[in-house]
Structure 1
Amino acid sequence: MKKNTIDLQEKLQELLLAERNNYLQGKVADYIPALANVKPDLMGISVATIDGKIAGAGDYQQPFSIQSISKVFGLVMAMNRIGDPLWQRVRMEPSGQPFNSIIQLEWEKGIPRNPVINAGAILISDVLTSHFSASKLAFLTFVRKLAGNDNIHVDNQVYLSELKHGNLNAALAYLMKSFGNIEAEVPDVLSHYFTQCSIVMSCQQLATSLLFLANKGIDPRSQKRICSARDAHKVNAILSTSGMYDQSGEFAFSVGLPAKSGVGGGVIAVVPGYGVICTWSPPLNSFGNSTVGMNLMANITEELALSIYH
């Protein structure tokens, strides 16, 4: 396959260079004021492989707000903690609605369509809040362990901004509570959710921390099992159908990898049996996905023949 025969570092640099003006096509997220201040022309890409290679280009070591990419870590923690009963409280279907839709949640009696839309991730936050005595610390410790970096932290300015402007997320949580699908107190659940979204990490840290999903649940660096092979399969399946919000179908069509985006401009994509790609560029398209990130993912996947549908 091509991916084994080219200079990865050189290829990433070349792909990034081709995108240097495309950030102008998007708009930095401003509904969370702390995110609106990020420079729009920053961009980076990193690839970590299960055989130990790490390559990057641009601002790939610059920490940024991971936002909804945090939903991947939370989902793994919840699956590890309570197992299959989780799927009685959240489904695994694409939503076909905006990621923060309240209408669909009411139609479906407080059961979110999947764990990577906001309602589903808030439900996951409830599971973690209910099953860990200090869920925020447990979450941060889990991420630090996976990334191999104890300096990963929560950006308090982003957290406070989320807390102040998170009324729609609060509405989703209270609606689920009214249907009996939230067990903990809503303010505690929201505090956990906003905390995990406010973690800052670099492309390189994200790519290396999620390698276990490309390796049937085993971290290839430590050889420790992070989740079962069955659960790694489930997470990748959900990311394939729902990880890119309303653009998930287009992403599967054009890129063909399990992926998750965040409104901080990050995108991660898992290449089973090979590794993880992470891109970052803050300006977003109308679906809430990074404009440059989408292009980079499509181009690197084509260049290296990485699509799972090849």
Structure 2
Amino acid sequence: MAIDIKALKEAVQSAYAQHHAAPGGENASYIPYLANVPSTLSGVAAVTVDGDIVAAGDSDFQFAIESISKVCTLALALEDVGPDAVQDKIGADPTGLPFNSVMALELHEGKPLSPLVNAGAMATVSLVKASSVEDRWSRILGMQSQLAGAQLALSDDVNHSEQTTNFHNRAIAWLLSSAGSMYCDPMEACDVYTRQCSTLLTTVQLATMGATLAGKGRNPLSKLQVMKPAHTRYVLAEMTMEGMYGRSGDWAYTVGLPAKSGVGGGILTIVPGLMGIAAFSPPLDPTGNSVRGQLMAAAVAQTMGYNLYAA
């Protein structure tokens, strides 16, 4: 399917104009850094598999990647251990409970079920092949950067804010270890997971990540084949099942595209074979998804007629 770039530009501009100041939601308050990001910020961008970039609003503002980082580490784990091991050790099903739920682990005998909730994300970190904690971190940061087509960096401020408030995740890591679902030192996994959530990127860079996944692992800007083409479908499947947390089913029902949110305000949406659509705005709904980001990303997809289930 050919992309009408003029129509895409109009869709992005219209989505921004309609929704960049939509009311509702609050910044994540349990991470001090996120609570202080200006809540008026909004940006939306689309990057195609051919490298076309369309953006509006605060699309160059750097924000914390947060849980969208789980997609990147999943991609690396698929490269390291393969899809069968990921499905066996982590899972591919929604938990039906909040992203930081301890009860979900207890109900399923310590198996996290999804790499896109906190328990599964830490277990996924532990699957990454590494000789040391710094090697593990370096490889994960490298995957983030390769997907984004830019050298991303850790924010010391975000990391400090997260590391000093991550006691709940530390407890989850120990529960995973006690159940045999952790594959390195649990505190190493928790530390690296916290770091991976603390990198900064722009909405355009996030959309480039999406375009890389949409293009079967080939980054449209760097031209680098970041991951095996056959592995991208597993990432998109996981995003469909749990990418928007408790609203994943509603998102599939109304938008019909794989997506992943982060409590930093980012929304990543994939149109397989065509583009990545990204949006950013800090105020979140009760589930942890950006209120305006959802509206903007959905508007672009719907205006362009993209929905996997409407073919």
TM-score grouping bracket, smaller chain normalisation: over 0.9
Aligned partner of 2:201: which letter? Answer: M
Aligned partner of 1:63: which letter? Answer: Q
Aligned partner of 2:136: which letter? Answer: S
Aligned partner of 1:278: which letter? Answer: A
- Asked whether the 8 Å contact 2:48–2:211 carries over to 1, the reply is yes
- What is the deviation of 1:138? 1.6
Partner of 2:36: 37
- What is the deviation of 1:254? 1.1
- What is the deviation of 1:147? 2.5
Aligned partner of 1:53: which letter? Answer: D
Matched, 1:242 2:238: no
Aligned partner of 2:150: which letter? Answer: N
Partner of 1:192: 192
Q: Runs in 1 of length 4+ with deviation above 6 angstroms?
A: none
Distance 1:223 1:148, change over 3 A: closer
The DSSP-based 3-state class of the residue aligned with 1:131 is coil
- What is the deviation of 1:206? 1.3
- Asked whether the 8 Å contact 2:141–2:196 carries over to 1, the reply is yes
- What is the deviation of 1:17? 1.4
What per-residue deviation string (whole Å, max 9, x for no partner) do you get for residues 105-151 of structure 1? 012121111110111001011122x535311112222222333323x
Matched, 1:10 2:15: no
Partner of 2:161: 161
Partner of 1:86: 86
- What is the deviation of 1:10? 3.4
What is the alpha-carbon distance in structure 2 between the residues aligned to residue 226 and residue 6 of structure 1? 29
What is the alpha-carbon distance in structure 2 between the residues aligned to residue 146 and residue 291 of structure 1? 25
- Asked whether the 8 Å contact 2:256–2:307 carries over to 1, the reply is yes
Structure 1 range deviating more: 193-202 or 299-308: 299-308
Distance 1:196 1:272, change over 3 A: same
Report the aligned-residue RMSD.
1.7
- Asked whether the 8 Å contact 1:45–1:58 carries over to 2, the reply is yes
Partner of 1:209: 209
Matched, 1:146 2:173: no
Long gaps (5+) in structure 1 = none
What is the alpha-carbon distance in structure 1 between the residues aligned to residue 183 and residue 240 of structure 2? 29
Distance 1:56 1:198, change over 3 A: same
- Asked whether the 8 Å contact 2:146–2:219 carries over to 1, the reply is no
Matched, 1:107 2:107: yes
How many pairs were matched up?
A: 307
What is the alpha-carbon distance in structure 2 between the residues aligned to residue 131 and residue 110 of structure 1? 23
Alignment of 1:251-290 (within 5 A): 251-290=251-290
Distance 1:132 1:43, change over 3 A: farther
| TM-score (structure 1 length as normaliser) | 0.94
What is the alpha-carbon distance in structure 2 between the residues aligned to residue 49 and residue 2 of structure 1? 11
Partner of 1:117: 117
| TM-score (structure 2 length as normaliser) | 0.94
